[in-house]
Amino acid sequence: MKQMLSIALPKGRLGESVYKIFENIGLACPEILENSRKLIFENEENAVRYFWAKPSDVAIYVEHGVADIGIVGLDILLEQKPDVFELLDLELGKCRIAVAGKKDALKGADRKLRVATKYPAIASSYYAEKSREIEIIKLNGSIELAPIIGLSDVIVDIVETGKTLKENKLFVLEEICDISARLIANRSSFRFKTEAIENLCENLRTRNSGVEKEKIQ
Ligand code: PRP
């Protein structure tokens, strides 16, 4: 009998793209695409159970073992440092973490820099490495507001298309790192459901290299 895999998907566009990939490699659960507010979906035949989780909570479900695997942005892994296995770079949801602000926001390098962010750990370690004294202002969204209305000098945030910065007359001032979606697994699930999880990884790897080939030809 196949081992049932519980998968935490990040609610939203990334989660839907990932589900479609999983569907293509034999883990379909069609009900999930019906427009409903249901959060858990199961397909016994394919031995799979999906959850829709808030993207920043995916690693929590996986770390606690209520999901065997999950899909999470590298930003969340760097910020939360969950105790999970990182298995694969899905090369989806690509973006970067950057310092952004008004053009001259970094002038006056000796004063304490006010940094607004939803990534306090990433921002702190970035500035600790540069030995720059900062004050973190933790926000939960619409981070770009902070430097515009004078709450902070800069922000440390995700930049994907750059549209939000552009429309708010802000600029990338420093790049911190590239981000993409990662497949993670609970440590004991990986031990007890090794075959199911390794098969899944292998299918995803084969699929990724197939996609690469298609692009090259
Ligand atoms: C993220 C991020 C930026 C925006 C960047 O916000 O915090 O605001 O996307 O994307 P862009 O470069 O393509 O414009 P999100 O949409 O997650 O909403 P939030 O402000 O509530 O965090």
Smallest CA separation from ligand 1 atom 5, residue: 159
Question: Residue 200 belongs to what domain range?
Answer: 5-93+180-216
Number of domains in the chain: 2
Q: Which two tokens stand for residue 148?
A: 């515009």
Q: In terms of domains, do 56 and 99 share one?
A: no
How many C-beta atoms surround the C-beta of residue 8 within 10 A?
28
Q: For 5-35, how does the pLDDT look when each residue is reduced to its tens digit (9 = 90+)?
A: 999 999 999 999 999 999 999 999 989 988 7
41 & 148 share domain = no
pLDDT in the model for residue 207 = 81
CA dist 160 and 95 (Å) reads 5
Closest CA relative to residue 100, chosen from 174, 44, 181, 38: 174
The band of 1, judged by pLDDT with boundaries at 50, 70 and 90, is confident
Please tell me whether residues 27 and 77 are part of one structural domain.
Answer: yes
Same domain, 21 and 37: yes
> What is the number of the ligand 1 atom nearest to the C-alpha of 95?
12
Report the side by side order of strands in the sheet with 171-179: 134-138, 113-117, 154-159, 95-101, 171-179
**How does DSSP assign 113-148, residue by residue?**
EEEEES-HHHHHHHHHHTT--EEEEE-SS-TTHHHH
- Quote the ligand 1 centre to 98 CA distance (angstroms): 12
Mean pLDDT for the chain overall: 93
Pocket of ligand 1 contains residue 77 by CB under 6 Å:
no
What pLDDT score does 217 carry?
43
CATH at 10: 3.40.190.10
Q: Are residues 109 and 188 in the same domain?
A: no
Angle between helix 194-216 and helix 13-24 axes, rounded to 10 deg = 100
**Residue 22: count of CB within 10 angstroms of its CB:** 23
Instruction: Tell me the pLDDT band of 216, cut-offs 50, 70 and 90.
Output: very low
Query: How many whole angstroms from 97 Cα to the centroid of ligand 1?
Result: 11
Q: Of all residues in the chain, what percent carry a pLDDT higher than 90?
A: 87
Q: What is the pLDDT of residues 147-170, one digit of tens each?
A: 999 999 999 999 999 999 999 999
| Longest Cα separation, the chain | 65
